[in-house]
Amino acid sequence: HFRKLLNDHPDYVAGYFQWAQLLVRLDEVDQAKPLLETGISVAVRTGDRHAAGEMTEFLGSL
C-alpha cells in the first residue's frame, strides 16, 4: 500500500517516514535506509524542514 501511495503522491513526505518505520520494525533496515534518504530529499525540496530533521535523526539511529 505504501508503494502505491508514494507512486500516486510522491511528495507525501509522511509516507516515506511511516513506511521506513514499518520496515525497521520488520527488521528490514537495509530497505528502510534508501527510503529515508529519498524522503529526506523530498522533504527538503518541499520545504518540510521538520520532517527532514526527524527522518535524518531516525536514519542516524539505524
Report residue 28 as a C-alpha cell. Answer: 528490514
> Domain 2-61 carries which CATH code?
1.25.40.10
Residue 46 CB neighbour total at 10 angstroms: 13
Rounded-to-integer distance, Cα 49 and Cα 28, Å: 26
Domain boundaries defined on the chain: 2-61
pLDDT tens for each residue of 35-57: 999 999 999 999 999 999 999 99
Predicted model pTM: 0.91
Which pLDDT belongs to residue 60?
97
